[in-house]
Structure 1
Amino acid sequence: MSIPIDEVAVALKASIERSGLHIEDEALACAARATEGYAYLTQLVGYSVWRVARRHATTSLIISQHDVKEGVQVARDEYERAVLDTALADLTLPSVQYLLSMCVDEGASSTGEIARRMGKPTADANSYRRILIARQTIEATAPGYVAFSMPRMKEYLERNKDRILARYGR
């Protein structure tokens, strides 16, 4: 379940100000949006932005848009290593192919369409769907439809498809 972005912004601002720093409104909005309402990303973004800003805290106590941009990139890199890589690490090739088949769609994917793309009977594809749901990598959004439950998973899969498939000798 995602946290509303306005609540993320309030929490980030309070945490930053407790540490003695301040953040520009535009920078705060950017940092809050970068979390996508995901609790772990909220922690990573907050910490990474704060850490970047602390490097110049002797000259400025204000977190700028530049600080946020750098901190968000650090947080995303760490999130990919700690969360997305780990989520994919021990999946079978068909489970990864299921996820890659979802990348074609904007928003939720039809489970029947995923099976067709995979060239598998629907019952076979559904076994991979159940595994991925149990691992909280995807979620059912309506009968016969699934979506990624982890923020940035689709973009990560698209960007790293060749590297991921190489793990399986593909």
Structure 2
Amino acid sequence: MARSKKYFNPFKPSAGAEPPRIIGRDQVVLDFVGALEGGVGAPARLMRVTGPRGSGKTVLLTDLGSRAQDIGWNVVNITAGINMLDDLIHELSPDSSVDSLSVAGNAAIASGEAVMKVKHPNLRALMKRCCGKSKGLVITIDEVQDAPIEAMQLIAGSVQHLIREKKDISLVFAGLPMGVMDLINGKALTFLRRAQSEELDFISLIEVRLSFRDGFAVSGLILRDEQLEMMARATAGYAYLIQLIGYYVWRFADLHRARSMEVSDEDVRLGIENAMTRFHEVVHEPAISRVTKGAMEYLVAMAQEGERASTADVAKRMGREPKATSSFRRSLIQREVIQSPVRGYVEFSVPFLREYVLENADELLDRY
């Protein structure tokens, strides 16, 4: 008896996992690959990618790195953090041992030089050597808002010098919008302000529908137009939700593949329900964890006011003067939980966070 063919879920909602097809980012990819092939000085060789949590920054970095490798470039991927320089040097030269690495003075950006205490070749020398081993060197840095300023000064300074030396090098860094802006506006990081800016907006629902249709079709499962529409709208064009909803609906439909290849309305309902529960756990909860009691009260008042709330009305609902709530608003903006699109107004930065806060207001406030 022949075994039935085993199909694998085409949707990948794990953090940073690369789905079979990335949608909504075609222009970014075209700009980047074109820059690699366009020679030294092409603008998109220096790129900053920003977007809220779950907007697909890590996935995009992975895709750009893979495309660079495919055309013969050496690619080094690191995540920002306290040990990022050690990680970078190890990736550039696995045999190098680093005792310590520090930066002093005006870290190599236009004026001054970075001071490194290492036993082996310095960072710029390592980068230069890697540039010569292939078509060029691409460095990607994720979660750059967590980077120590000294580390970014040294990396940026090394890249700047290599560009001046007409070496084939590219630097792509990604992070939360405010964190990235704070970084590039920091001391001695003027060079990074020249990076081509790519802000990851919400993905067109037309592209989302096509992605769902194709993703299910390759494994023989059939979605009706109204189901595609319901699933697409439920994502709000948010990259991580696209993967979550696709993953759970596909999983429920796959359970009855033997008797029916048609996705049922119940599959869609349960899939969206499970996806939203997971979305709350991995996006909403981390976003609002460890905020102060006053900040949580501000979020609840905001949610009760509507999609876009007047800061004066939020303060009034809290029973406080507007000045007395400014610190709560500021801390939430810094954490990129909310944003201020225009003066005097605030709105939530993450899709469906308002609904989550409204539905769970009593439990959220009871935590304090």
User: How high is the TM-score relative to the length of structure 2?
Assistant: 0.44
Which residue of the partner structure matches residue 267 of structure 2? 67
Return 93-102 or 5-14, whichever deviates more. 5-14
**In the alignment, does 2:328 pair up with 1:128?**
yes
Deviations 1:54-111 (A, max 9, x none): 1011111221222111100010111111111222221111110111111222321011
User: Residue type matched to 1:59 in 2?
Assistant: R
In 2, Cα distance between the equivalents of 1:40 and 1:129?
26
User: Is this contact kept in 1: 2:227–2:265, CA < 8 A?
Assistant: yes
In 1, Cα distance between the equivalents of 2:282 and 2:240?
10
Listed as ranges, the gaps of 5+ residues in structure 1 are: none
Deviations 1:139-162 (A, max 9, x none): 222111111122221221122111
Q: Which structure: greater helix fraction?
A: 1
Match of 1:112, SS?
Answer: helix
Deviations 1:105-153 (A, max 9, x none): 2321011221222233433422222221222211222111111122221
Runs (4 or more) in structure 1 with deviation over 6 Å come to none
User: How high is the TM-score relative to the length of structure 1?
Assistant: 0.91
Q: How many residue pairs get matched?
A: 168
In 1, Cα distance between the equivalents of 2:363 and 2:242?
28
**In the alignment, does 2:338 pair up with 1:138?**
yes
In 1, Cα distance between the equivalents of 2:336 and 2:205?
22
User: Is this contact kept in 1: 2:305–2:313, CA < 8 A?
Assistant: no
Write out aligned runs for 1:1-170 (5 A). Answer: 1-168=201-368
Listed as ranges, the gaps of 5+ residues in structure 2 are: 1-200
Larger radius of gyration: 2
In 2, Cα distance between the equivalents of 1:72 and 1:120?
39
Match of 1:60, SS?
Answer: coil
User: Residue type matched to 1:160 in 2?
Assistant: N
Q: CA deviation at 1:19?
A: 2.6
Deviations 1:11-62 (A, max 9, x none): 1112122233221111111111111111111110010111111101111122
In 1, Cα distance between the equivalents of 2:336 and 2:263?
34
Percent sequence identity is 39
In 1, Cα distance between the equivalents of 2:219 and 2:325?
49
Match of 1:70, SS?
Answer: helix
